[in-house]
Chains A and B, each alone.
Chain A
Amino acid sequence: MEQQYIDLYKSHHESIKKHSAPAMNGLRDASFAQFEKLGFPTVALENYKYTDLKESLSIDYGLNINRIPIPVNPYDVFKCDVPGIHSYLYFVVNDGFYPVTDPRNTQLPDGVIIGSVKEVAATHPELLKDYFGKLSSTKEDGLIAFNGAFAQDGFFMYVPENVVLDKPVQLVNIMRADVDFMAVSHNVIILEKGAKAQLLVCDHTVDEVRFLSNRVTEVFVAEHAIYEHYKLENTHNKTTNLSTLLIDQDSSSNVLANVITLHNGVTRNMIEIDVDGEHCETSLCGMVIGDKNQQVDNFTSIIHNKPNCNSRELFKYVLDDTSKGAFTGKLYVAKDAQKTAAFQTNRNILLKKTAKMRTKPQLEIYADDVKCSHGATIGSLDETALFYMRQRGISADEARLLLMFAFTNDVIENIRIPALQDRIKLLVEKRLRGELSKCEGCVICQ
């Protein structure tokens, strides 16, 4: 499986580099060497035990190495109808940043840079030099190594010191191709001291072919900065999304990451938050609504390296049919990270006996003055509550829906953008009702 990509790299690395941001080429050969060594991860590896990528990787995907423009105008077809949400809107088509930006985006606060990695490499090379690959290059992971070898562009955001982005930034990943297609991109997000930003990433597919995406996102959150990262996955069931989110927190910073999988084929989210300063707040949340053959694996780590920090982790899964879920919650508290307060919860509901859930809390605590807890449950809907509701005249279906909705509600409450919270509530309700959960008027995610 690896061989065709190894051959491809060997024969095409010149054009990969030529059509890429120079800053991305610095680590490319080293990444490739690592990929050659590691190959694609298999279930034999502890970290990939619950996500078998064999089938997804057996497809002969096309890559757009020569960066040929994809004929689609997202502004024509995408109408994100989140009432009341005013955002700075950007598109990535497959793995290319869509160059024409919304006129509203010109009103960005002073000093904020949002664009493609390629663009920024030309205009602000110093910014990329200090950050690109800083978090990802230290990881021993075949998918991250693959990304390092093949990614040619990505989304870039820079928020300077004490600047607050007044509106959320919305990044829409659109998958569009006539043949089975692989998108590889590498995003970099930098928040300077005291900066504040909210990013909403939406994944959508337009075509019915097989897609695989491999996206790495590195986020640097400086002292006193506040960063919120929302990811909404609503793609078709022939899509494999392999995403890596690496966040580094400096002291007194506040990070919220909330990853919601409504619909997809195979999802693997690797999320690692490194808390590298004191007095940080970290919230990591997620929700999965899976049915049919969906496979969703949230592989998460929160690393407490410094004392006096708080973290909360909350993941909820509702799994139907023969869907499979997996959750790993690694919580690492270093020897010096005294007074850490870290709480982890993973709760799961299986609607059918054929659905499967694997959950693995993994606490490694080396400090002796900490407050840490974890809890994981797998169960079905509460029969006594169902009967209670039916006794009040609520139909069995409606009662089930209310219970499932209630179950996911505390994850939705961890969305700090009210308009987005309302919209996601609606999408989740539609999803639970089995209706198509696309945004109204959105023709992208049909």
Chain B
Amino acid sequence: MLEIKNLHANINGKEILKGLSLSVNAGEVHAIMGPNGAGKSTLSSVLTGNPAFTVTEGDVTFNGKNLLELLPEDRSREGIFLSFQYPVEIPGVSMVNFMRTAVNEHRKYKNLEPMSASDFLKLQREKKELVEMDSKLANRSVNEGFSGGEKKRNEIFQMAMLDPKLSILDETDSGLDIDALRIVANGVNKLKRPDNASIVITHYQRLLDYIVPDFVHVLYDGRIVKSGGKELALELEERGYDWIKKEVEGE
């Protein structure tokens, strides 16, 4: 589904990704872990086309298409979803209006008619239950005045509405208490299907108790330096990252 080869990217001239390669197939959950500043969030920004980052080398294909040539909105319409580490507040834009616009832009891309108001409301109700989201939030402005937990739930709600092929969860566990974490993880698990995939970016192993990965990768200094099964996450939790840094530097 996703094939990243030798990806180099920088922000304001500073190189962050230094030859990252990764391949994700349908049905898989990949966890990406790593110390602060390793480039975890840069990877999610580059995959979604954030204009603040510049790709200098490498290839990314998504379902056979050259992802790097696509506009951010077209990447979304092709099925890439990012659950933001810091969801943005947009005062004055109601959740309903925002979501309806997004859903209909996705439909337009697939040559489908806009969704009727009643179908949309039905879909919205159904997906809100998935993350136990307060129905009042839908009438508010996007993320405005939402608590940390509400914002993250809202991300998963949007993910459910847009039904992506590849979802990237960027530090979705940060700022969540244990109940909110369980709800968010439950939502993600319910959305898992054999034909979609996830990349879970996280700092701590905690989230992976709930969202069980098929593969765990360690990102360090802009590259994936170690890959393994879910037991690698436990090892990292126990031993920290220093032994990996030593291994890399000893190369």
Contacts and interface: CB of A to CB of B under 8 A. Distances in A.
Interface stretch (B1-9, B70-78, B201-209, B225-233): B70-78
B90 A390 contact: no
Contact of A390 (B71, B87, B91, B141): B71
Contact of A388 (B81, B88, B101): B88
Contacts of B97: 402
B125 to A, nearest CB: 19
Given A387-B50, A388-B90, A390-B73, A398 B101 contact: yes
Interface in B51-105: 51, 71-73, 75-77, 81-82, 84, 87-93, 97-98, 101-102, 105
B162 interface: yes
Given A402-B97, A409-B92, A393 B109 contact: yes
A382 B81 CA distance: 21
Given A388-B90, A410-B92, A393 B51 contact: no
Interface of B: 48-51, 71-73, 75-77, 81-82, 84, 87-93, 97-98, 101-102, 105-106, 109, 141, 158, 162
Contacts of B82: 391
A295 B76 CA distance: 40
A394 interface: yes
Interface of A: 382-385, 387-396, 398, 402-403, 405-407, 409-410
17 contacts: A382-B90, A385-B88, A385-B89, A389-B90, A390-B71, A391-B81, A391-B82, A392-B98, A392-B162, A393-B109, A402-B90, A402-B101, A403-B90, A405-B93, A406-B141, A409-B92, A410-B92
Given A391-B72, A392-B162, A393-B162, A398 B93 contact: no
Given A389-B98, A393-B162, A396-B71, A407 B92 contact: yes
Contacts of A403: 90, 92-93
A196 to B, nearest CB: 30
A390 B76 contact: yes
Contacts of A396: 71, 73
Q: Is the interface of A mostly helix, strand, loop or mixed?
A: helix
Residue among A384, A385, A394 with max Cβ neighbours from chain B (10 Å): A394
Nearest to A408: B92
A117 B102 CA distance: 53
A170 B109 CA distance: 44
Nearest to B89: A385
B92 A392 contact: no
Given A388-B88, A406-B141, 12 more contacts: A382-B88, A382-B90, A389-B98, A390-B72, A391-B75, A391-B82, A393-B162, A394-B73, A394-B98, A394-B102, A396-B73, A403-B90
A393 B50 contact: no
Contacts of B76: 390-393
A391 B102 CA distance: 9
Most chain B CB atoms below 10 A, which of A383, A384, A393, A402? A393
Contacts of B98: 389, 392, 394, 402
A-B pairs with lowest CB-CB distance, top 3 = A406-B92, A393-B76, A388-B88
Contacts of A388: 84, 87-88, 90
Contacts of A406: 90-93, 141
A382 B141 CA distance: 15
A407 B90 CA distance: 10
B53 to A, nearest CB: 11
Contacts of B75: 391
Contacts of B92: 403, 405-407, 409-410
Nearest to B103: A393
A407 B92 CA distance: 6
A387 B71 CA distance: 11
A22 B181 CA distance: 78
Contacts of A393: 73, 76-77, 102, 105-106, 109, 162
A283 B237 CA distance: 59
A66 B72 CA distance: 64
A405 B75 CA distance: 25
Best-surrounded residue of A383, A388, A402 (most CB of chain B within 10 A): A388
Contacts of B89: 385
B56 to A, nearest CB: 20
A426 to B, nearest CB: 14
Contacts of B109: 393
Contacts of A390: 49, 71-73, 76
A405 B87 CA distance: 20
A76 to B, nearest CB: 38
A395 B73 CA distance: 6
A397 to B, nearest CB: 10
Contacts of A409: 92
Given A387-B72, A390-B76, A406-B93, A395 B105 contact: yes
Nearest to B164: A393
Nearest to B75: A391
B139 to A, nearest CB: 14
| B49, B51, B73 pick with most chain A CB within 10 angstroms | B73
Contacts of B51: 383, 387
Contacts of B93: 402-403, 405-406
A261 B171 CA distance: 45
A245 B75 CA distance: 52
